[in-house]
Amino acid sequence: MGRAANTQYEETLITDNTAPKKRVSWNTFKIFSHSRNTKTQHPKSAAASRSRKSWTPPALHPLTLSLVVLVSLTLIITLQLFLDRSNRNQGVIFAPSIGELPLSKTFMYRYFPTIVAVIYSIFWAWIDLEAKRVEPWYRLSTEGGSTGKDSMLLTYPFDFAPFVPFRAMKRRHWPVFWASFALLLVTWGLVPVQAGIFSTRPVVRERPMLFNVSTDFVPAAQQPQELSLAHYQSTYAIATLDERLPPYMASNYTLAPFEPSSTHSLEVVNELDEWTATTTLYSLDLACEPTFLEPGTLATYKSSWGCNFTVGLDGNVTEGTGGSDFTKRKRYSALWAAFAPGSDASYRINYCPPGRAHTFYAGISENKVKEEDPPNNVSAIFCEVEYYMQDVNATIEKDTKQPLRISTLSPKRPLPEQMFNRTSFQQQLSSNTIEYRVRRDFSMPGRDLPEYGEQILDSELSALINDGGVSGLALALDKRPLRDSLDWRMLKNSYETAYQLMFSRAMVEILGPDTTKSRQTEGNERIMTEALILEPIFTYIVEGFLGAVSVFASVLLYLSINRFTALRSDPSTIASLMSLVSDNPNLLASFKDLDCSTITDLETILRDKSYRLIEDPENVAITEIVANRKKSNSMGLGQRRGFTKDINHPVRPKGFSLWAAISFVGLFVILAAALIAVFLQARVNGLSLPSNSRVGQKILENYIPTLIVMMIEPMWILLNRHICLLQPIEQLWRGNAKAEASIDVNYSSLPPQLVIWKSLKVRHLILAAICSMALLSNVLAVAFAGLFHHEMTEVRIHQSFQPPFDATFVSINGSVSPSNRRNAMLEKPSGAYRAGKGQDQFLIAESNYTRNTLLPAWTDDALFYLPFRSNTLPNISNISTGVQYEAQTRAFGAELKCSALEQGSYRVIKRKTEFGMSRLMVALSNGKIKADCVSSEYFRINPNPTMVDESTGGTMEDTECINGPSAAELVYNMEPAGGANASQAQRDICWATAILGWVRSLNGSCGTTPEHILASNQSFLVQCTPQMVRGHGTVRVDEGGRLLRPVHDRFIERNLDLEEVKANFSNDPINLINQSNRYMFYSWTNPWHNDSIASDFMSYFVRVVSNSSRLLDPTKSLPKLEEVQIPLNRTYSRLFAIWLGANHHKLFVNASGSSTVAWRIEKEERLFISSPLFIVSLSILLAYMVVAIIVYLRRPGRFLPRLPTSIASIIGLFAASTAVHDMRGTSRYSTKERARYLKDLETRYGYGNFVGTDGNIHVGIEKTPFVTLRHGVHSRKPR
């Protein structure tokens, strides 16, 4: 390190004896002269004589820069490993909904990457700051020194960050260029872009697993006794009521159930979507052939394999004949008959040879238009049912176990005889009933197979004589026109579809869900889930940034190794700068008269001068170097022309101007207002996605918001740098400042985020507040990076609709009902009744309870809601379009009011006209009129609950009675005893009433008589009267009108008077009540039983609704009214609402034309703002506003001639003072030694006017009390 004596340059002292001098009073001069003659005593430090290592900025130390390179490369490798894993595994985190994961799991991808990036940027801000700050010292430490413009006048730390790389490149200051460019890449590139690395998307994952395939089944011999009507009822519900298919069943086959061998899949139960395994498929085919009317016969058909049917269709039926609406011939006639020896079916095949027992006949013909027309051709077929099983590879949904796909693995093979009772199946279809009344808890009672009469009545097909069991099902399933079935192949397909559905549903019951008896097979599971993925484009960009930054860090590492400074400690304070010039009186003399110079004057005077930082064993000093004396003299003359002894235009940073304040605060106001506006707009329905592209979404939702925040950060940093610069001088301006709070305070060597602790320690609160804002800008970056997220939400759109119905019931003939079918066949259809046994409401309720099928459209558990729009997707609730509708609408329902019958008000009577059959007679009254009412069905309690033949009027096939405690339930509709002679008032009383009773016997059913049964100690009877209710509620429905959620604002009007009720009816309301009672209280038998299983529909659903067998248990005492009223009312209200919902299109008057307004609601992926992050972001922006206002209200005054942003500018503030002389001999001190030295001096300092060592008045830094404080312009007065 060369000394001044060894250089070719000569130190030159430049003085000015011609400059005009201000005269000062003798007293003042005396004081300052005394100060000049007083020498500061300080110890000779051992450090002054011993050699020290050259000081290197910690941020530019090779270890630091090596760490940066290592961290950058580590981040690149980590990102690439995660990207490879994401591409290989289709994601890095998997969940049914990534957005619903807890914070403990989302933190690592939503916030942690941004936190790492922000910390990384803070680290680079430190490196950048140090590179800018020490660049002048590196320049001064070169062998030939440096010009003033490239060293003493450099102001990089206080320049706006985006401009620094260009200025540094222009000046060829490469360390500053690389560091500042790297900071820009990190701050405005890396941090915003990394916010878009992660995104979510649906993915499919597969893994192998073992399954247990069930081999269990109910043997064929046990099936007649084990299988109830449940599978036939379910088949009806599937075909007509939109019941969902059971597990492992498709409409044309059933699979042997299979489950995972282990429970490990349950760990991802919410993710699992599909299972695939090798299993057995069960189904059937029909082998059919066309058949034709035998010549010379009226209606005989024969098959090629020898079956003979003699009463087939003849094609000679005329359309329009046949009587009532129920029985008259329509456009087509059809017939089905099976070979079922011993069956009581109306039609059955006469003969089939051995081995051909599973044959049936089916035919259809178009009826004649006129009686005289010739017979039409008949399309007829004979079919054999071929039951088979087949090995398949089947894929099912995990949740519903619904089959999705199959691929065959083997040929079809015949189904073993012991697996399915073909004979029983054919007998049941032929006779339309089951052989045994199977009693099972939570199994709906019944013996007859469901009928399809109503579906037939609403079609062009004539009523079927055998009630349409198979033909009705084929019609219900086949959506093609009936004309197509005149082709025998189409006819075969229709019946094959019906047979496959019935058989598949029966096999569900036969196979059962139990997999304890099983075989093991290999399979796999497919997980349909959401995955968190790394977006390749954003990942590669971030890796590119990190790679570039690591290269820049490597360049800085190389430069730091090959550069040195003569410094022995950090020149980060005014005191450290004093140390470096205090031992050079010539340099101080050249700066004494620059105390009031402007920055322009300073640059003019010093830009072309040369300076060097030299070191010798005694000190380290800045020295001016000149080529010769002549040039020195000429420069001295130039310098004199820049002299001024007063501050004509005091300055402060432009960032503290009024316009800057307005712009700065206004920016935060605009951002806060925009954030609030966006949040309020997004709070309900979210915002539309800004782009359909994931990359576009990431740019708009993550990159740009983070970039905005990262552009705010440099503004706070610039303010921070200026406050850090001015804070020590402002402390001096106030006067009497300690060294540690003024000339020895170090704010320039740390990033703003880390200065906060020092500023709080010395109580520089404004600076601490600004540092806090710079720190909060990093928190704001994290918040903005995760501010937006996607959710599926509902978008509500106002829309007008034309309601299909008015709130008025049609005119109803109450006598037309399913319990009076024989008479109804002679009447016109009326109200809800068209045909059949009227059991749809029970089948719907059963399906809803046992298989979770949706209730009918516009129906909940108590009310039917009047549709405000037509159902565009009837009976396909399993098909979702995603569109929903919501509006308030009127509602109707009924409740059941019951009271106990007194002993003596009822008895059993026999009528001669009814061949001695008994009926229950009850004396009823409405308070004004009395009426004798009789049960519409015969009064009889059968000795046991099985093997009852209803068709014979109740004759017992098995008369064996039961012993021990027994019970029976009575359910009767009532009609006036006077029949046609009864008055309308009596008819109203009887029609409106249902009688329900509970009977107990301790000794069984043997030898019981009606009188014995109705004894008060053995029976409890109640009379129940439905009461119409109405109300309203806001309903949410799908395209098919199915309610999608409970009606929370449901309001029900009860206890309506007759006139209020009549307002919603076209005729007397009693007709609706009577017709509905014939549906609700339908009962065909009342047997004794010694179990707790219901025998009628009402008792069964009371059992289901209440989840209690109290009313059925023969070991329990007779119930009381309060035990009956609540479960009966709940059951009745639900069934009545279902009945209204299933028949509303027949019960309500068509709309008159008025429209209504409703919400159309669609599911859409929308953009939402996280409420917690919104609060954090808004709070930070509000803090920005408050702190910015406070900073500008308490901004530094204008008391400086120039900003002390460069080395030269700061030296000019103290060159003429005696304070700098106290620092002689300290240039080789460490930072701690210098601080200790100043503390020992106990000197106070100030900024203002003082008499310099040259006897002239100067403005700058001087020891107290030798300084007179100055007042700034438009600023606070110093305290």
pLDDT of amino acid 10: 38
Locus of tokens 């490879």: 84
Burial of residue 833 (number of CB atoms within 10 Å: 0-12, 13-18, 19+): buried
Give DSSP secondary structure letters for 928-966. Answer: S-EEEEEESS-----SSSSSB-GGGTS-BS------SSE
State which amino acid sits at residue 42: H
- Determine the pLDDT at residue 939: 87
- pLDDT, position 872: 57
DSSP per position, 191-218: HHHHTTSEEEEEEEEEEEEEEEEE----
φ, ψ for residue 1183 (rounded to 5)? -60, -40
Q: What's residue 12's pLDDT?
A: 37
d(CA 1260, CA 274): 82
The whole-number pLDDT of residue 407 equals: 96
Do residues 574 and 1214 make contact, with C-beta atoms less than 8 angstroms apart? yes
- What average pLDDT values come out for the chain (1279 residues) when binned by 10 residues? 36 37 38 42 44 79 94 95 92 83 84 88 90 92 90 89 92 94 91 85 86 93 88 91 90 94 56 85 96 89 94 89 77 91 81 92 93 92 96 92 94 95 90 79 81 83 72 88 93 96 95 83 87 91 95 93 87 91 90 89 91 87 71 41 60 83 90 91 82 80 81 82 84 88 84 77 83 84 82 84 92 81 60 84 90 89 92 49 87 95 88 72 89 89 64 45 89 90 91 94 79 82 94 92 91 88 91 93 84 91 92 93 94 96 92 86 84 90 90 82 90 92 90 91 91 89 86 48
Torsion angle of the four alpha carbons 1056, 1057, 1059, 1062, in this order, in degrees rounded to the nearest 10: 50
- Give the pLDDT confidence score for residue 52 in this predicted structure: 54
For 89, the token pair is 């595994």
> In this structure, what token pair is assigned to residue 276?
């695939």
b/e code 1065-1079 from CB counts within 10 Å (16+ = b): bbebbbbbbbbbbbb
Q: What are phi and psi of 1108, to 5 degrees?
A: -145, 140
**Domain map of the chain by residue range?**
1-38+578-641+1196-1229+1249-1279, 54-197+535-563, 209-527, 657-790+1167-1195
Torsion of CA 881, 886, 890, 892, to 10 degrees: 40
Predicted structure pTM score: 0.72
pLDDT digits (tens, 9 = 90+) for 407-443: 999 999 999 999 999 999 998 888 888 877 777 777 8
Rounded to the nearest 5°, which phi and psi values hold at 257? -60, 145
State residue 826's pLDDT score. 52
Cα(594)–Cα(644) distance, integer angstroms = 8
Helices 62-89, 112-140: crossing angle, 10 deg rounding: 150
Short-list 646, 644, 275, 333, CA closest to 461: 333
Count H helices and E strands in the chain, helices first: 35, 34
The answer to whether 1159 and 797 are in contact (CB under 8 A) is yes
Query: Residue 208 pairs with which residues in a beta bridge?
Result: 524
Ranges of beta strands (E only) in 604-697 are 610-615, 620-625
Q: Is 981 left (phi over 0), alpha (psi -120 to 50) or beta?
A: alpha
CA distances from 763 to 310, 728, 1236 (A): 114, 12, 20
C-alpha torsion sign, points 248, 253, 254, 255: negative
